[in-house]
Amino acid sequence: MIPPVAQRLKRLPPYLFVQIDALKERMLRQGREVIDMGVGDPDEPTPGFVLKAMVKALKDARNHQYPSNRGLEAFRVAIARWTRRRFGVPLDPDTEILPLIGSKEGIAHLPLAYVNPGDRVLVPDPCYPPYRTGTILAGGRPVSVPLLKKNQFLPDLEALRRQAPGAKLLFLNYPNNPTAAVADLGFFRDLVRFSRRTGVPVCHDAAYSEIHFDRPRPPSFLQVPGAKEVGIEFHSLSKTFNMTGWRVGWACGNREMISALAKVKSNIDSGVFQAVQMAGLKALEDPGNHLSRMLGIYERRRDLLVRALQKAGWPVAPPKATFYLWAPIPGDRRSQEVAAAIMEGTGIVATPGVGFGERGEGYVRFSLSVPTRRVQEAARRLARLPIWR
């Protein structure tokens, strides 16, 4: 009765975590204590001052109706103020900022605005999956841009110029998931020059801009003079304020791109619940106590896990940003096999690097978004692991 699904669904990459998911299920059934470091989803609750703002906004009946397509003006103004304070970048709240139902939503929809069937889109390898899947759902072809350790997991822009002609978009993400790499302003300057020369617009995902352990803080790509002429940046409240379940983020920068994305969205969704926008506004006014507390927590967990992995013979260095450890596998075993062995040997779920793209092979990713006590337990278990040679 039901016809086969469309080609675009068949073209999506296979789900690579089947084996890991099945193994985890089996261990849970056996009553073994599983420590899930597979997903990047903050374990700590949303801060109380944001909850309070939400409760107040919930009681205001104006927020019960459809939100406006462009988002609440007050929220856009708060975003502009935050961006100026944090990065020194001025933005016009009316034309250069667009609230999103989580940044993933905007990332996945943007290709619908720019990609015709068969068009190429440059996506990093390894990467956060929606750059690739959003491109495929729009009928485009993702072209892999390798992120290699020898280049600090930054793309080689010189080599990329050969792949650039005709490409419709370039996705990048720093601080980076899954590699935890950070880009400095010098790289973003080169990136803006690259985009000017090649005509490929930049879509920079800054979801982890606030999760960092080093100075200077990670910059915005929009800090480069002229950046607004060549691209947009995605931001999210999810990781910064432990708000992954709330679904709120924004895109900002180039006004043509913002307007094109808004046009796609106005035909698909009806915006972010206004009460959530009001709570997001409050989050952005946080003087910084919440964030510095969270960074202290992640740093402690990071150090516990790095030390344990080092003891087990893994050559990991502490990451400067994000809550991920991108751990190179000693020897030459496959990431799926190693993730399975870690799970069987320790009950710890880690993500095989190949799930983020072919260039992720040779790595596993550990997420630090589990309670510190569980990280301590994970560290104990990992330190006892045999060296993988």
Interface ranges with ligand PLP (CB under 6 A):
40, 102-104, 128, 173, 177, 205, 207, 236, 238-239, 244, 249
- Distance, CA of 193 to CA of 196 (rounded, Å): 5
Shortest CB 233 distance to ligand PLP, Å: 11
DSSP summary character for residue 5: P
Task: Give whichever of 47 and 347 is closer to ligand PLP, judged by the CB atom.
Answer: 47
Task: Give whichever of 125 and 377 is closer to ligand PLP, judged by the CB atom.
Answer: 125
Task: Give whichever of 70 and 104 is closer to ligand PLP, judged by the CB atom.
Answer: 104
Q: How far is CA 359 from CA 62, 127, 179, in A?
A: 49, 9, 11
Task: Give whichever of 160 and 207 is closer to ligand PLP, judged by the CB atom.
Answer: 207
Shortest CB 313 distance to ligand PLP, Å: 28
Shortest CB 95 distance to ligand PLP, Å: 22
Q: Is the Cβ–Cβ distance between 104 and 171 less than 8 Å?
A: no
Shortest CB 262 distance to ligand PLP, Å: 17
Task: Give whichever of 244 and 335 is closer to ligand PLP, judged by the CB atom.
Answer: 244
- In degrees and rounded to multiples of 5, residue 169 shows phi and psi of -150, 155
Interstrand relation of 351-352 and 249-253 (parallel, antiparallel or unpaired)? unpaired
Distance of CA 36 to the CA centre of its chain: 18
Shortest CB 389 distance to ligand PLP, Å: 32
Q: Using CB atoms, what's the residue nearest to ligand PLP?
A: 102
Q: Is the Cβ–Cβ distance between 273 and 68 less than 8 Å?
A: no
- Distance, CA of 212 to CA of 215 (rounded, Å): 8
Shortest CB 105 distance to ligand PLP, Å: 6
Burial of 269 (0-12, 13-18, 19+ CB in 10 A): middle
Task: Give whichever of 132 and 381 is closer to ligand PLP, judged by the CB atom.
Answer: 132
